[in-house]
Structure formats: C-alpha cells, structure tokens
Amino acid sequence: MLMLLGALAAAAATADQAAAEPNIVDFTLANGLQVVVVPDHRAAVVTHMIWYKVGAADETPGKSGLAHFLEHLMFKGTTQNPGDTFSRAVAAIGGQENAFTSSDYTSFFQRVPRDRLKEMMAFEADRITGLVLTDEVVRPELNVVLEEQNMRVANNPSSRLAQQMDAALFLNHPYGRPVIGWRQEIEKLDRNDALAFYQRFYTPNNAVVVIAGDITPEEVKADADATYGKIAVRAEIAPRRRPTEPVAEAPRTVTLADARVEQPNVSRSYLAPSRTTARPGESEALEVLAHVLGNGANSRLYRRLVVEEGVALNASAVYTAVGLDYAKFEVYGAPKPGKTLHDVETAIDAVLSDTCEHGVTSDELEVAKNGLIAEAVYAQDNQATLARWYGSALASGETVEAVRTWPERIRAVTADAVRDAARTWLDRRASVTGYLVNSLQPEEKHS
Amino acid sequence: MNTPMPTLSPCRLRLTAAAAALLIACAAPASATTIERVVSPGGIVAWLVRESAVAMIAVDFAFVGGAIQDAAGKAGTASLTAALLDEGAGDLDSKAYHDRLERNAIELSFQAERDTVRGSLRTLTEHRDEAFDDLRLALTAPRFDTDEVEINRAQILSLVRRASTSPTEIANQRWWETAFAGHPYGRPVDGTLETVPTITRDDLVSYARRVLARDNLKIAVVGDIDAETLKPLLDRVFGALPAKADLAPVGAASPQGLGRRIVIKLDVPQAVVTFGGPGIARKDPDFMAAYIVNHVLGGGSLSSRLYQEVREKRGLAYSVYDNLMWLNHTALFIGATATRADRTGETLELIEQEIHRLAQSGPTADELIKAKAYLNGSFPLNLDTSGKIAAMLVQLQLDDLDIDYFERRPQMINAVTLEDARRVAKRLLDGGLLVTVAGRPEGLASNSAN
C-alpha cells in the first residue's frame, strides 16, 4: 500500500510515472474462485467482500427484482449456520455487514477486526451453496423489499423518472430493467424463483473475493484454501451474452409529472461504451469529458448555465464508466425560478455542441486529469472504497491490471481524444431526455 | 450533484448511525492511533494523528455556533454563510478561487449544522502550503460577492422548496418544530421560504465575524504532517480570526409535545414516521448506560429489538432505527421508519410497545453482554480512514472529552451493570413520545397532547 500510494501520488504530479508497484495480489483457487488482496496496514481491520457475477441484467424476463430479492434472502441462514447465526457472529464482534445489487453484480461484505477474517471467510464460503429457504422467512422479506421499493422509488418522483429513462434508453438490453424490479413482478417472486436463481449463479467459479486491510497475501491464500477452496463447483457458467442495443435512430423524451415536484429539472442520458467495451482510451476520454463539462463550480455547464447565463440553479455531467456491456453519459440542469426547462436544455445543448465542435483546451485537460488522478489517491485512504473499486470492476469484466493502471491511462488522454469521444457519443439519436415536472403543462410538455 | 444515478440500488440494511452516534462506539484502545495535542506559538490548539503512510492530509474543524446563532427572522444565515465561504476570498473571485483549489486537487467544504459551522480540507502532501493558504483566505477574507450570494441563495431556496414535499423532510421538520417551538432548535437549518430571501450581505458578514473565531474553534489534523510543521501553519490559517466569538445566549431546552401524534397528509404510498423524546446529556453519568440501552432498542446492528420486531418478523419496513442525539442545549433520542399506509398504525403500536417494554424491564443480561461486545469491537472500524479519524477527533473536543478517551472507553462501557441499564432504560424511555407521520396512513389521525 505504501508504495502504491507513493506511486499514485507521484503520478498525479508528474506526467510519466511508471506503473505502481504490484502490491495488490490476485490468484485463482482450483474451483475457479478469484481472490484479490489489497494490503492496508494502518488499522487492524479488514474489509471482506464477495462479488457474484450476476445482477439484475441476468434475470429471466418477467422475474425482475429477483437478483436483489435473493440478495436479501442470503441472510436467512444455511444448513451449517442456520437462521441469523452469521449476522449474530458479525454483531458479536462489533463488525459491520451489508450487501448490494447492481445490474451486473451482487455483493456481500463484512468489516471486522483482522483476527476474525478467517471466520468470516468460512461463513461466506458456506453461504455460496448452503442457503436454506422456507416460506416462513421468504414471505416477510418480500414485504421488506416492497417497502424498500416504496422508499427508494414509489415515494420519490426523481427515482421514478430515472427508471422510465433507463427503460427508454435501452431498447433491447436488460439494463433498461430496474435493479429493484418492477413492482408488479416483485410481488410475484417466491421461494422457488429465488432458489432456482441461486443454484444457477451462486457457485465459486462465478465469484470474486476481495479482501482489503491489515493482512498479507500469504495469510489470505492459506485461509482461502481452507475455506473457499473446499466449496465444489456446482454449476457451469455460460458466457454472459445479453441482448445488444440496435443502432439508435430516434431521440427519446419522457416526462414525469407529480404534484409534489417543487423543483423541475431536465436530464439526458446518452448510451456510451463502458470501460469493458470501449475502444482503448475511449472510456478514459469520456471520464475527462464529463469532468470538464460538469464536475464542480468551474465546469463548462455550471459556468455557462448557472453563473454566466443565469438560467439554472445547478448543472452537472457524469459518466458511469463501470459496466459489463454499456455505460451512460448523463447531463443535468435545474432551472432557476422564472426559467423553463426549454431554456436550460437549450443552454446545455449549446455547451455540448460547442464542445463537440471545438474540443477542450489543454488547460482544461490538465486540470481534469489531475482531479481524476487525485481521486484515486484520496481513495487509497479508504480500504472499503478500494475493495469496491476492484470488486465492481472485476465483476464487470475488467482485470486487476486494468484497475491498477487506470491513472496512467487517464494521464495519456489527449484533447483530440476528448473531442472525438464527444463527437461520437454525444449523439442525440442514442439518448433519452427526461423532464421532471409538477404537471403536464403544454409549455413543459414539449420543452 | 443531482444527476439521477440509479445503478447501485438496494442495500439490505440501512447504514444507520450518524457520525455522532458512531463516535460513542469507541472502545478498545487504538494501538495504532496516537493523538498529539499540538499548541501553536499563537495558542491555537489542534489534535493531531500523524500517519505518514498516506501522502495526504485531512483537516476537520468546527466553530461552535451553527444555525442556532441565526438572528431572529433570519433562519438560514449560517447555512448560506457556510455555502459562500469557498465562493471567493481576498483578491480571488469565485472562479479564481475554485481554480486554485482544482489545479491542486484540493477538496474544501463547509457546512452549517444546528450547533456548529464545520469545515473539511483534504490535500495531497505536495500541495500542503497552498491548501492551508486557501483555507486561511476562506476563513478570514470571504468576499460574499453579490452574484455568488444570489446563486447560493437560489440553490438553498430550491432545497427548501424540495423539502416541503418530501415525506422524510416533512415528518422530521414537523418533529423539530413541535418539540422546540419557540426555541432556535425548532427552526430549520436551511431556513424557510420566508426567511432566506430576507438575509442580506450584511447579515452574512456579521454572522461570519461573530461565529468564526478562535475561542469556539476545535481542530483535528490527520495525515502526513508532524507537529513542528503544523504549529506555524495553525497560526497562519487561524491566527487572524477574532480571539473571541460573539455568541447570543441560547437557553437549555427539552422536547415538548410528548404524547402527541401529528399526521401530515401527503399523497405518497409509504408513510414516513419520526418519533422521539428527551435523551440523556453527554456529560450525564448515565450517558453510557443510555447508549447501551439505545443500542438494544434500535441502534446500529440488526439484532436490535425494533429491527427484529418491525422488519425481520413482520416485514413492515425496510428501515427502522433510533439514535441518541446530544446537542449543546438539549439531548434526545430520535428514530424513524417508513411503512405501508395500511399498516402504519400497527407499526407505530409495535414501536411504542417495544419502547414501553424496554422502559419497564430493561435489557436482558444477554442483550447487555452483546451490546457491550458490539460497542467495544466496532471501535477500530471507526478509525480506518483519515477522514473518519479527523471527524472523531473534532467530536471528542466538541464533547469536551479528554485526549485519552480512547483508552478509558472500554472500562466505561464495561462498568455499566444490568441494574444501571434497567434504571436508565426507564429514565430514558418512559417519558412519552412525540410522533410525526407524513403520508396517508389508514385509520391514523392526529391526537392532542395527553
């Protein structure tokens, strides 16, 4: 960790830093389970995560929400550790645990004192294949998930619009499906659905374990052999080939009206390649582009919309780089009172088309690259963040080497590459624009 | 940033505990964490943890004052002031100031809370001197340029408007308004649609002059810097601030409206509930026992009674919890849940029943042992990043705790007996609840106070 930190910090300052020292070690057990070790010896704690390469985009149509529902049910106990034995063991030592699901992966983690790592590994290994489910525990948990859907989505107009936008952006690929599921399909999920999904996807050859903290690769190797190494492969995993997006021909717009919307906004999502699917350098160029366009008070969108033209209260851009198949490039603006969504959208379009035409300045390029690389340095201060970086990347088709060399690839981005990425991917035909409004007034409807 | 980013959806547990709640979970000695009390030549104190493994420095600090120092009719002043501190200072306008920060990847932010104005600085070691200079400018020479005032005012008003239809915000704000009617704690930190437009530039300048001072300042520094290097930097950054803050007196307060239930009608599918009552002060000898009792009731782990009864057994909610909250002029326990409209009454009854049961009988011997083990064991998890350590060191100073608190913590936890826990459970939980509900709960209406 020390050498890595040093190297990354230097990379932030000097343009041509060689690759960081390989302090991060990864290996694969005989049963196919991949293990990544990220040493951090500053505190006597470890973050232990398992990442299954299965998410909402792997669900069978009609069973949306199943990956996430199974995530909840994974806490219901196994033959060997019935009920909440695992959770009680974590609580007994003051540990933290949680889990989360995305379109591409499902992840479980514990944060515990270093000397309890092997115990956690044994519990987690047991849970790969040992889950026991009864209707008695499955039914109340389905209600919990429905309340979660209420809390995150039904009660929240912005989330409802975001779901509609994803569904409109992805014409054919299952990224259009909400991770939590469509409510009418969640309601019908049951124990048999969950067990079938579990048996199909939860197997050591479909998982990555990431351990960050006060441990050495040697210790982890021995403990992994003694725990995870004992779990037999129970399913062969087919390549993750999902439906692909057709050539996009028509820009889409969606409008969500809710009487509770007090602050309207407009956002647009462009279909973009992910780190996994982009041509070399292209994803990195999109990261720099998002930074220049919409990160912070001096970004192009904020300066133009908020400060200079005074049409918006806020404006930003984000590129979500991680994804097995696709990513999104998103821009956002919220009108000032007295200004319309149309005003904001027009101003956003002016900034985007100017950027496509003229590209970015060398000064903007340098500031953005320094900012992005510094984020990587700051992340080194948080073992849980690092574990997430590696886990999400590996579960989305990237390699350890790719994560490790990310700062160098950012450093190598040129102004031409940023301009070209903007021209290629800021294509209205492959986008959806979403309007969040109070009511369907004619003026806002087609703004 | 408000861009919708829905990829990472569901977590199983709500990641509860606010920073303040985590702090108290400190227990085992921090073998790797040595805290130094650094005093500058000018007399400015900072608590320092040196960690040279990381090529960065984290500085957290807090000025006691916060939103409760807003003048009458000017709620939101502290919040707007904090928002403007990084919007131009000295000779630098907002653009030039942000440019300096961004070029060196320096992260600086300010935030107003009820009792404090807090700041947070992160810099790579190589940009240390520039970072400390930028901070000095922000604290001692903020410009409050008209354009920036209006941009930030409009942003805050937008947040206030948004909060006015959010069930979570409505339930929470009504709870505070009712519990602290007539007291500064009853005002929303960001102000209201009536007060924010009335705040003038003079109000902001005056607020900064009154509150940003040396005698109400707590500082923590963590990272790649030693005491001798830090000392002159402390004087350079904070030395030009006024020696004494000019704070208006604020009276002690205890939450009112106990026994009341207030239902605010809102057309949402899920009803959001805030509940709470009087807590136990941070300096009270019973505080640690109260902390343990709260952990048993609805604290951080999923073994809590509320979690088990409301979520695990019945599936009534995704999130249910309660926390102890200690402020400079009051102490509370306050919790929340969100549940389907047709079972809101049942959920509330269950929560009230669990609170009553714990008040009457206290925790079991087994629950006490487990709570102690949890609170002791979770300690090192709160010290694994520079930011977490810095936040904790500021909180310890705000709470007026000693620098050897980490070492004494386990004994303080372990000394709580079952008898203490029972007595304090009654003291903490038997005072009645104020409950606010936003939504359309079936068969549930407001009542009047008992």
Interface touch A103/B7, C-beta < 8 Å: yes
pLDDT value, residue A443: 52
Q: Of A420, A444, A306, which is closest to residue A360 (Cα–Cα)?
A: A420
Pick from B4, B314, B338: which is nearest to A161 by CB?
A: B4
Min Cα separation B68/chain A (Å) = 27
Active site residues of A: 71
**Cα–Cα distance for residue pair B196/B156, rounded to 1 Å:** 8
pLDDT value, residue B32: 53
Which residue of chain B is at minimal alpha-carbon distance from A116? B377
Question: Is B53 within 8 Å of chain A by CB?
Answer: yes
Interface touch A265/B381, C-beta < 8 Å: no
pLDDT value, residue A34: 98
pLDDT value, residue B52: 84
Strand partners, A207: A52
How far apart are the two ends of chain B, measured CA to CA in Å?
Answer: 44
Interface touch A148/B10, C-beta < 8 Å: yes
How far apart are the two ends of chain A, measured CA to CA in Å?
Answer: 51
Question: Is B5 within 8 Å of chain A by CB?
Answer: yes
Eight-class DSSP state of B341: G
Pick from A97, A147, A330: which is nearest to B318 by CB?
A: A147
- Residue B94: list chain A partners with CB under 8 A: 297, 307
Beta carbons within 8 Å of B357's beta carbon, 6+ residues apart: B305
Which of B1, B2, B9, B126 is most worth mutating to test chain A (most A CB atoms within 10 A of its CB)?
A: B9
**Cα–Cα distance for residue pair A61/B66, rounded to 1 Å:** 52
Beta carbons within 8 Å of A185's beta carbon, 6+ residues apart: A62, A63, A64, A65
pLDDT value, residue B434: 98
Which residue of chain B is at minimal alpha-carbon distance from A295? B1
Using CA atoms in the order A125, A129, A132, A137, what is the torsion angle rounded to 10 degrees? 70
Pick from A262, A367, A373: which is nearest to B103 by CB?
A: A367
CB burial of B257-269 (b: ≥16 within 10 Å; e: otherwise) equals bbebbbbbebebb
pLDDT value, residue B160: 97
Residue A19 clears pLDDT 60, i.e. is over it: no
pLDDT in tens, chain B (450 residues): 233 223 333 333 333 333 333 333 333 333 457 999 999 999 999 999 998 887 899 999 999 999 999 999 999 999 999 999 999 999 999 999 999 999 999 999 999 999 999 999 999 999 999 999 999 999 999 999 999 999 999 999 999 999 999 999 999 999 999 999 999 999 999 999 999 999 999 999 999 999 999 999 999 999 999 999 999 999 999 999 999 999 999 999 999 999 999 999 999 999 999 999 999 999 999 999 999 999 999 997 788 999 999 999 999 999 999 999 999 999 999 999 999 999 999 999 999 999 999 999 999 999 999 999 999 999 889 888 999 999 999 999 999 999 999 899 999 999 999 999 999 999 999 999 999 999 999 999 999 754
**Cα–Cα distance for residue pair A224/B292, rounded to 1 Å:** 36
pLDDT value, residue B3: 30
Q: Which residue has the higher pLDDT, A183 or B382?
A: A183
> Is the backbone of residue A40 left (phi > 0), alpha (psi -120 to 50) or beta?
beta
Burial class (CB in 10 A: 0-12, 13-18, 19+), B8: middle
Pick from A320, A334, A336: which is nearest to B5 by CB?
A: A320
Which of B1, B5, B7, B302 is most worth mutating to test chain A (most A CB atoms within 10 A of its CB)?
A: B7
- Residue A12: list chain B partners with CB under 8 A: 105, 124
* Token couple for A282: 């292209």
Q: What is the pLDDT of residues A104-124, one digit of tens each?
A: 999 999 999 999 999 999 999
Which residue of chain A is at minimal alpha-carbon distance from B161? A262
Question: Is A151 within 8 Å of chain B by CB?
Answer: yes
Question: Is B370 within 8 Å of chain A by CB?
Answer: yes
pLDDT value, residue B54: 78
Question: Do A104 and A53 meet the contact criterion of CB atoms below 8 Å apart?
Answer: yes
Which of A148, A160, A292, A336 is most worth mutating to test chain B (most B CB atoms within 10 A of its CB)?
A: A148
Interface touch A140/B27, C-beta < 8 Å: no
Question: Is B264 within 8 Å of chain A by CB?
Answer: no
Question: Do A373 and A410 meet the contact criterion of CB atoms below 8 Å apart?
Answer: yes
**What does the pLDDT average to over A388-404?**
96
Q: Report DSSP letters for A87-127, one per residue.
A: HHHHHHTT-EEEEEE-SS-EEEEEEEEGGGHHHHHHHHHHH
Question: Is A340 within 8 Å of chain B by CB?
Answer: no
Pick from A91, A145, A298: which is nearest to B95 by CB?
A: A298
Strands B56-64 and B116-124: antiparallel
Name the amino acid, one letter, at A418.
V
**Phi then psi for B298, rounded to 5 degrees?**
-160, 30
Interface touch A94/B373, C-beta < 8 Å: yes
Min Cα separation B353/chain A (Å) = 20
Pick from A45, A144, A263: which is nearest to B161 by CB?
A: A263
Burial class (CB in 10 A: 0-12, 13-18, 19+), B412: middle
Distance of CA B352 to the CA centre of its chain: 25
pLDDT value, residue A175: 98
- Residue B270: list chain A partners with CB under 8 A: 147, 150-151, 154-155
Which residue of chain A is at minimal alpha-carbon distance from B57? A378
Which residue of chain A is at minimal alpha-carbon distance from B272? A151
Residue length, chain A?
447
**Cα–Cα distance for residue pair B181/B196, rounded to 1 Å:** 19
Question: Is B364 within 8 Å of chain A by CB?
Answer: no
* Token couple for A22: 């390989």
Question: Is B32 within 8 Å of chain A by CB?
Answer: yes
**Cα–Cα distance for residue pair B314/B8, rounded to 1 Å:** 26
Which residue of chain A is at minimal alpha-carbon distance from B369? A92
